Structure 1
Amino acid sequence: MDDWVRIGAGDVSVALDASIGNIRTFSVAGRDILHTAHWVGTDAAHKAEAPVDAHLAGDFFCAPFGGSGIADIPPHGWTANSEWSPVLRAENEDMAVLKLALNRDVFGARVTKELRVISGHSVLYQAHVITGGQGALTFSHHPMLRLLAGGHIGFSSKKAAITPQTPLEMAHRFAYPARATDLSAFPSTDGGHIDLHRYPSESGHEDFVTLVEADDVQLGWTAVTRFAEDDIVLFIKDPRVMPVTMMWQSNGGRDYAPWSGRHTGVLGIEDGCCAGAATLDEAASDNPIAREGVATTLTLRPDLRTQVRHAIAVVPRPVGWAGVVKVSPSKAGLLLTSSDGAVLDVPFDLAFFDL
């Protein structure tokens, strides 16, 4: 824990492991919101493929995302596997800010990270800036939740949901490859359909699907209503910068170490710019995600500066709340609407996304 850097404001606190750049904890009133894999901190972690997997927890920024197809780049890139140096830490009773810089370049680009928490907001605000460089780059956030008894998943409007050519693991529920425009009726491996709005309570599968943002969306969002945890976790993105959301269901479908069939009930909501699980070369060429009319790589240039803004918010689940179907700006921040028309106001800094 020597490399952890902590900030906090009000009842919100964040701890970041600067040795690999991942947010280990995001806590509200002493309760950690994000997932930590069961092997982290044990001897089994040595069996992981890369540092990002050995310390699998919280959220981390991937650049490039997934397997790059380049031999000397670890899974999810050096941004998720190497050291960051703090360059600014400022705290007062109203706000806390932490800024860091990656200690190595990504294809010649400099990458910085800013974390911000505000008193009275149960929100983690993040901004990554990619400056300079050359070539094509994929990137994504990688926050993970645990759902002990399933839950409801609401999304901003999507064009389509698309699975890769082949499944991540032999044990899976989704059909591969498949495409659907109705998220409540995605093709399943048994010839039926699966509602992507529902996280299943039964385990024994590993699945991955890419959701492509609709053209007219101004604010991209995913809202996870967790039944056992009795909360709503909201992920907010700028769809112009991150036009896809990848949903990873890790639910006991990996029986090898360190997963050992015990990594269950885990949901990754991975907002980014990529072609799903494709390599860099595949993302930079013709691919099923790009055919939907969205960018699947960022083209780096020496004169280019790209800001990637992302936020995670959490609120208690009101009694009887089934799931979020709409998120819109309000005077307080964000207004959540449930399937039965109930509404919930969430304090949020809309200026963070220039809204």
Structure 2
Amino acid sequence: METVTIRAKGISVSVDCSVGHLADLAIETEERTLRPLHHAPWLDEPPESLPPGLPDGVTRLSGDFLCAPFSAADVEAAPLHGWTANSAWDLVEEAAIDAGRRARFRLRRTVMGATVEKILTLRDGHPFLYQEHAFIGGAGAIPVAHHAMTVMREGGTLSFSPKRLAATPDTALEPDPTRGRSLLAYPACTPDLTEFPAADGSTIDLTDYCMDRRHEDFVTLVEADHPGPGWTAVARRAERDVVLVLKDPATLPVTMLWISNGGRDYAPWSGRHRGVIGIEDGRTAIGHAASIGDNWLKREGIATTFELAEGRRVAIRQVIGATDAAGDPPDTVTVETGQLRLGWQGGTTRELPFADGFLKGVEN
């Protein structure tokens, strides 16, 4: 494994170049260093201790990675979540920029004939990683998603930009009780994230991450119409911080939540993958073939692929960061000139330095 670390004032990011996953994100505050990203508990174990045949993206599971396609690669042959999450990336350029640092990586393989690049930018004093993935050339339709993951020792609470609805797929992640368990009803759909139908007929609050419920679940949140940005905030109780993931809703219209809290009993998960939530912003259905075919999201008017073409560059941008904050997550997140403003009920606000044009594709 080759790890490359990029640093700016007060922030650093490390990339596991064997699979392109973000291995670590470290954000310095006045009193401590925040580490918002998850890494799998088996990463420090000998490879021979893991079950044979696992995709490299599972054996090296950490932080965030690009899925292209998201889930099953059943159009162009590749492992789960595509070669972008399972094969090597090369650092092709790293340079200082005005008040920061930027690195560009390139996937050794192509996806649907396209060259894929990962561009990571850190700004001095900004508690955010600004990342862009670009598909250059190629042909055909590709569903894409990020796979950001954070982890909580004692659970936490979540808040979101306005969502139209939340829905589970037809089949639970763990339908076999000898292998694991899921809590949510499959399929189910509701506009109220605090009362999602459960398998036992009750309801579950998706904004409350409870550590005492061992389960593996997956739910798709569809963005409502609003001026943006799209955002997810996770207030981690024990860590006393708020993890922030931001997107442009016009580019990435869905946010998929992977709730992984000891719900898989088989290796390498073995009931120990706990307190993890994936915040998976994307333009996708579940699987490549499903995304390019008829699917429920398309029937809702939601795009589920990007179109690749020779001479075309398709860019996807996302932001991950964190800030000190004990208690609840913010109720509002707004972009202003040079800053991100977090707002809580009661009038409390916090302003963080932010590249306000980044998500819209403007260089700043």
TM-score normalised per structure 2 = 0.92
Distance 1:40 1:93 in 2: 35
Q: Once the two structures are superposed, what CA deviation does each residue of 1:307-326 show, in whole Å capped at 9, x if it has no partner?
A: 101001110005xx322211
Match of 1:197 among 197, 200, 207: 207
Counterpart of 2:261? 251
Counterpart of 2:178? none
Query: Could you tell me whether the CA contact under 8 Å between 1:9 and 1:92 is conserved in 2?
Result: no
Counterpart of 2:168? 163
Match of 2:141 among 108, 133, 136: 136
The yes-or-no answer on 1:23 pairing with 2:31 is no
Counterpart of 2:299? 291
- Indicate the SS of the match to 2:84: helix
Aligned partner of 1:5: which letter? Answer: V
CA shift, 1:23, in A, is 0.9
Query: Could you tell me whether the CA contact under 8 Å between 1:223 and 1:324 is conserved in 2?
Result: yes
Q: Once the two structures are superposed, what CA deviation does each residue of 1:284-342 show, in whole Å capped at 9, x if it has no partner?
A: 12212222211011122224321101001110005xx3222111123441111123432
Query: Could you tell me whether the CA contact under 8 Å between 1:47 and 1:257 is conserved in 2?
Result: no
Aligned partner of 2:209: which letter? Answer: Y
- Indicate the SS of the match to 2:357: helix
Aligned pairs for 1:102-121 within 5 A = 102-121=107-126
Distance 2:11 2:295 in 1: 41
Q: 1:168 to 1:38 in 2, by over 3 A?
A: same
Comparing 292-301 with 53-62, greater Cα deviation is found at 292-301
Distance 2:79 2:270 in 1: 22
Aligned pairs for 1:225-236 within 5 A = 225-236=235-246
Q: 1:155 to 1:302 in 2, by over 3 A?
A: same
Distance 1:79 1:317 in 2: 33
Counterpart of 1:262? 272
CA shift, 1:239, in A, is 1.0
Comparing 324-333 with 4-13, greater Cα deviation is found at 324-333
Aligned partner of 1:260: which letter? Answer: S
Aligned partner of 1:101: which letter? Answer: R
Aligned pairs for 1:203-222 within 5 A = 203-222=213-232
Distance 2:182 2:345 in 1: 29
Query: Could you tell me whether the CA contact under 8 Å between 2:163 and 2:221 is conserved in 1?
Result: yes
Structure 2: tracts of 5 or more residues without a match: 176-180
Q: Once the two structures are superposed, what CA deviation does each residue of 1:245-279 show, in whole Å capped at 9, x if it has no partner?
A: 0000000011000000110110000001101xx22
Comparing 29-38 with 9-18, greater Cα deviation is found at 29-38
Query: Aligned residues: percent identity?
Result: 43
* Superposition RMSD in Å: 1.7
Aligned pairs for 1:294-313 within 5 A = 294-313=302-321
Distance 1:48 1:33 in 2: 29
Q: Once the two structures are superposed, what CA deviation does each residue of 1:142-188 show, in whole Å capped at 9, x if it has no partner?
A: 11111111111111111111101001113111110011111111111
Residues matched between the structures, number:
350
- Indicate the SS of the match to 2:299: helix
Counterpart of 2:71? 66
Q: 1:279 to 1:48 in 2, by over 3 A?
A: same
Distance 1:331 1:350 in 2: 6
Match of 2:333 among 324, 327, 330: 327
Distance 1:107 1:92 in 2: 32
TM-score normalised per structure 1 = 0.94
Aligned pairs for 1:31-110 within 5 A = 31-43=34-46, 44-45=49-50, 47=52, 49-70=54-75, 72-91=77-96, 94-110=99-115
Distance 2:341 2:138 in 1: 39
Aligned partner of 1:26: which letter? Answer: L
- Indicate the SS of the match to 1:290: helix
The yes-or-no answer on 1:13 pairing with 2:12 is yes
Comparing 236-245 with 193-202, greater Cα deviation is found at 193-202
Q: Once the two structures are superposed, what CA deviation does each residue of 1:194-235 show, in whole Å capped at 9, x if it has no partner?
A: 111111121310000001111334311111111111000110
- Indicate the SS of the match to 1:350: coil
CA shift, 1:96, in A, is 1.2
Query: Could you tell me whether the CA contact under 8 Å between 1:48 and 1:54 is conserved in 2?
Result: no
Aligned partner of 1:11: which letter? Answer: G
Query: Could you tell me whether the CA contact under 8 Å between 2:229 and 2:335 is conserved in 1?
Result: no
Q: 1:329 to 1:93 in 2, by over 3 A?
A: closer
Structure 1: tracts of 5 or more residues without a match: none
Distance 1:212 1:335 in 2: 23
CA shift, 1:92, in A, is 7.0
Aligned partner of 1:39: which letter? Answer: W
